[in-house]
Structure formats: C-alpha cells, structure tokens
Amino acid sequence: MAAEGHEVAIRTWDHKILTRISEKQIREELERPNKAIERLTGHRPTLMRPPQGRTNATVHRISRELGLAEVLWSVTAKDYTTTDSALIKRRVLEQASRDGIILLHDIYDGTVPAVPGIIDALKARGYVFVTVPQLLAPGKAKPGEVYRP
C-alpha cells in the first residue's frame, strides 16, 4: 500500500478504546503498530484514528509525544451494523460533502463490494480522492492535534 502511494496510518493495535485504558496501555496501542509499519515500510506513521473516535487530553498528550496527529471522520456508513452493500453505499452518498473523510471497515462483508459504487458515484459528482496530508495541504498535521473534517 505504501509503495502505491497510499497514506499508511494507525488505528491502534487491538482497537481498544483509548479513553478507557491506562497511559501505559495507550502508548503500547500506538507504538506497537507504528514500529511494525516502520519496519515494513521504512516510514513511521504520523496519523492515527482513535477507535470509535474516542479521545481526550491524555490521548492528545501521548499522541503529541509520539508524533501522531489524530484524524476523525465526517461520514460513517455504520458498516459494522449491516452486510447490505446497497445500504452502505446509500449511507455514504447521503452524508458525503466537500473535504470529508469517509470511515469504512474492510473486515465487514458488505463493505468492500460497496466501495466501487461509492467511488464511481462520488467521482460523478466531481469529487477527487486524496490522502489526509493532501486534504490538509498546504498545512501539515500537527502531533497531538485532533482533525475533524
């Protein structure tokens, strides 16, 4: 993925809710995937998405210390609640707006089949797909900051 130009970021190691665990556990949840990704790609991620979007001052501080900015989303299809690809597509298209970030999960059966239709429909509306750093340009994500589209 990195070699193809995709932005590789982290979601944590075990998808634990960061606001419900100790500072030591937060660090482990963020450092473990960062180290693995850096070992595999040669690049250390600078972006992370907290599970369920749950964050607080402690998560911000630790993220800043680890060089991570937190990126949230503006669109969710709640694809974890359905296997209906048409419903997932409809939910995304109803919520999509300029400079948005869409949250989808490739581990659910209905999601991956919905993606080509989502991409085609959004392109037909004139949308262009970019990485988060491209979306934030000319600025750059700052460690410890939370970005909400």
Average pLDDT, the chain: 96
Q: Would the pLDDT of 5 be above 90?
A: no
pTM over 0.85: yes
Q: Would the pLDDT of 1 be above 90?
A: no
State the Cα–Cα distance between residues 15 and 87, nearest whole angstrom.
Answer: 25
Tokens standing for residue 144: 């410890």
Q: What is the pLDDT of residues 78-124, one digit of tens each?
A: 999 999 999 999 999 999 999 999 999 999 999 999 999 999 999 99
DSSP 146: E
